[in-house]
A and B are shown apart, each in its own frame.
Chain A
Amino acid sequence: MGIFSRNKKARGQKEGAQPSSSRREFLKTAATVGVGTAVGAPAVASAMEFDFETFMQKNFRELSDEELQGVIDRLERKYSEKYGKDVSVSAIGPMDGVLYGYGLDISRCIGCRKCVYACVDENNQSRDPEIQWIRVLEFERSEALRTINLEEGNPYYEHEKVPEKGKFYVPISCQHCEDSPCSTVCPTGATWREPDGIVVIDYDWCIGCRYCMAACPYGARHFNWGEPNLPAEDFNPDIHIIGNKPRTRGVVEKCSFCIQRVRKGRLPACHEACPVGARKFGNLLDPNSEIRYLLDNKRTFVLKAELETNPKFFYFWGTEGRS
């Protein structure tokens, strides 16, 4: 296959870096003047600076349309100043009749980690300390053993070229469980499952107790142990409040199926970045979707099915005889 496994320069052009004005118009129909912005947003040069409005902000789910618009305006101003880019902040809600599902073809995945880096580019993770939402585990290919024992996986493989002979790869990120243990245990209701199946976090509401990290069976949740560092040139200005909004120190973060993209009908960044078509995404409620075709025609499985978390992330071997 000859694809370099860790060639950062080979990463694709950033998708969605240009905010569309029509989207902004759409979002501004709800309310014109935001409440709580009358004080005039202070220049937030550093995340360390105390910001009274952010401090007093309500839980995302309790914000009225007006208050939400105030938050959107404030964040757009704040990020424009901080990163020097034209920023589009959205809080676009779920579409009716949509339940997102993800499929991953283990027989195709070559372990190149392009999805990992595309995700970081898209979702404004801290570059130092480095946070990644997707972990790719490398497993020994074995004729006898066809089960996946996660303890045998190695996330730290380094090869000149991938795939390495005799290995197979399983990328793991948030499984968007229907019965998500993380949201059950959260003491503040800062994380929940949206009607379209996306498990989200309100990054302004999380207090950083990390109970959800103990509860998650998939290691999908990551904590901002230090001050997140996101250089302005790496900042993606196409923001969703409960998606890729830049995080502060002391909060938990994770994959949101690229909520800022999929709710506008686009594909997740990892899906677009995959060079071998191992990733499939779609609406589980649409009988003609690709993801439904997979579920109907392939032998799929979910990770740790015995825990009955009902993930909406399905793994399968698309090509018989490989891996």
Chain B
Amino acid sequence: MHNLKLFAHFVSGSLLAVASGSRGYYIWLLALTILIALGLNAYDHQLTHGLITSHMRDQVSWGFYIGNFAFLVGVAAAAVVLVVPAYVYNWGPIRDVVLIGELASVAAIIMCMLFVTVDLGRPEFVWHLMPIIGTPNFPHSLLTWDILVLNLYFVINWFIVTYILFMTFTGRKYNPRIVLPIIFLSIPFAIGIHTVTAFLFTGLKSRAFWHTALLAPRFIAGAFCSGPALIFLIFRVLRKVGRAEISEAALFKIGELLAYAMAINLFFVGTEVFTEFYAQTSHTVHARYQWFGLHGMSSIAIYTWVALCCNVLALIIFMVPKFRLNLNILTLGCVFSFSGIYIEKGMGLLLPGFTPDSLGEIYEYAPSLNEVTVGIGVWAVGALLFTLMARVAIAITAGDLRITRT
């Protein structure tokens, strides 16, 4: 009973914390709310007229939404990169930041689920894939696996942050015998959500471009480039606007991790390029479209090269100590890494799989304005949730929000 009462205080204190803030904080919330409203309006348009408001068609039947979904699963998985040094090796500096990383994970998973939902033709029937009331095609359909592991990963992360914050709020230290097993569980789950998402594509023998054993490792490598980069950028912002105490040592550690991740990621890109182009088959047509375009249609090829340039520049910054140990240059490297992977693991991965389509037709897809607006709305929901959660987390860890034990 005592704990329940304390938890009620925790919830009401959290609500008070998110409701109060500086002027800049309110402006930021207002801006996000406006973007969400625009996104909702665009989604309403889509619900009224159908997915014809997108530029997806039979030839390219997944586009911007699923591309963002695949990318964000990576962001969600990447929190584990920080979790391991923080809790398993008990390395102090990064433990201060790992909570924020896990909150980013939680927000990313919610965005993933929203992106899948807005992609559905009949979202009102989504209960058809739930157990008992629906008929989920488990274990055959990888999509049912993906829904399962994403939800479990969400629960795990949500529990860890809530538990740790609640204990800090009540002035107690968390019990490692509760936290550590769950942390250990979250590691295979982080790898798991991204592997299952990769298998979603790899499992399709109809699409030669995705039917490669390298896809899951590439997904993981990409995730470890984009996720920590995003978390790094968030920290830099929080150090400016919030009162979060984030040590430089933690930031530089992220830079070091990124150097490994990006090197591996680019190595994977290289092996794939070699395999596709050295011994060409009729299946190389997708890679040819990805890198050079086909029959004069090459809008995706431009993005492929932009992504490659971003990733190479990021690698140079992460590798050269002079650059890596300069916070501003490192920030630039994280921007490159995040954008490069966003292109590469989002639409860069998706579109060549569908182009040419299974009967050889080339339909050059680019998202419609309505699709992009819905997507921006989803990103704004994620940013808003993250902001509110981070506000509570920082208030509690900084000691502003705490209850004295009675």
Contacts and interface: CB of A to CB of B under 8 A. Distances in A.
B122 A251 contact: yes
A190 B120 CA distance: 14
B137 A188 contact: yes
Contacts, number: 146
Nearest to B211: A307
Contacts of B124: 55
A224 B121 contact: yes
Contact of B122 (A185, A187, A217, A250): A250
Interface in A47-87: 55, 59, 61-62
Given A207-B128, A226-B49, A150 B206 contact: no
Contacts of B357: 219
A193 interface: no
Contacts of B140: 184-185
A316 interface: no
A27 interface: no
A319 to B, nearest CB: 25
B142 A216 contact: no
A223 B136 contact: no
A184 B141 contact: yes
Given A181-B204, A188-B128, A215-B204, A223 B61 contact: yes
A222 interface: yes
B52 interface: yes
A213 B58 contact: yes
Given A155-B359, A223-B61, A225-B51, A62 B122 contact: no
A152 B285 CA distance: 12
B135 A219 contact: no
A219 B358 contact: yes
A59 B122 contact: no
A188 B206 contact: no
A137 B204 contact: no
Contact of A250 (B120, B134, B142): B120
A86 B240 CA distance: 72
- Interface of A: prevailing SS: loop
Contacts of A190: 128
B360 A153 contact: yes
B56 interface: yes
A207 B61 contact: no
B142 A222 contact: no
A149 interface: yes
Interface string A248-265: 111110000000000000
B280 to A, nearest CB: 14
B135 A188 contact: yes
Interface in A166-213: 172, 181, 184-190, 205-211, 213
Contacts of B359: 135, 137, 150, 153, 155, 172, 218-219
A187 B129 contact: yes
A223 B358 contact: no
A150 B56 CA distance: 22
A221 B121 CA distance: 14
B45 interface: no
A227 interface: yes
B144 interface: yes
Which one of B57, B123, B141, B207 has the greatest number of beta carbons of chain A within 10 Å? B141
Contacts of A222: 58
B125 interface: yes
B169 to A, nearest CB: 40
A214 B204 contact: yes
Contacts of B136: 187-189
Interface string B138-159: 0011111001000000000000
B46 to A, nearest CB: 10
A112 B59 CA distance: 23
Interface residues on B, range: 35 or more
A234 to B, nearest CB: 20
A151 interface: yes
Contact of B50 (A152, A215, A216, A249): A249
A217 B205 contact: yes
B367 interface: no
Contacts of B205: 181, 217, 307
A151 B50 contact: no
B258 to A, nearest CB: 32
Contacts of B285: 151
A93 interface: no
A214 B207 contact: yes
A227 B48 CA distance: 9
B3 interface: no
Interface in A125-164: 129, 135, 137, 149-153, 155
A213 B50 contact: no
Nearest to A306: B205
Contacts of A151: 282, 285, 356, 360
Contact of A189 (B58, B137, B356): B137
B132 to A, nearest CB: 12
A316 B104 CA distance: 57
A55 B128 CA distance: 11
A36 B367 CA distance: 42
Contact of B206 (A61, A210, A215, A248): A215
B102 interface: no
Contacts of A129: 52
B120 A208 contact: yes
Interface string B33-68: 000000000000000011110101111011000000
A225 B119 contact: no
B361 interface: yes
Contacts of A252: 121
B126 A207 contact: yes
A55 B200 CA distance: 28
A57 to B, nearest CB: 10
A209 B285 CA distance: 26
B50 A227 contact: yes
A216 B206 contact: yes
Contacts of B353: 214
Contacts of A186: 137, 141
Contact of A225 (B57, B125, B142, B143): B57
B242 interface: no
| 10 A-B pairs with least C-beta separation | A208-B121, A250-B121, A151-B360, A226-B52, A217-B206, A187-B143, A225-B52, A213-B61, A219-B359, A250-B122
Interface of B: 49-52, 54, 56-59, 61-62, 116, 119-126, 128-129, 134-137, 140-144, 147, 200-201, 203-207, 282, 285, 353-354, 356-361
11 contacts: A62-B135, A189-B135, A206-B121, A206-B122, A207-B129, A209-B143, A216-B358, A225-B57, A250-B121, A252-B121, A307-B206
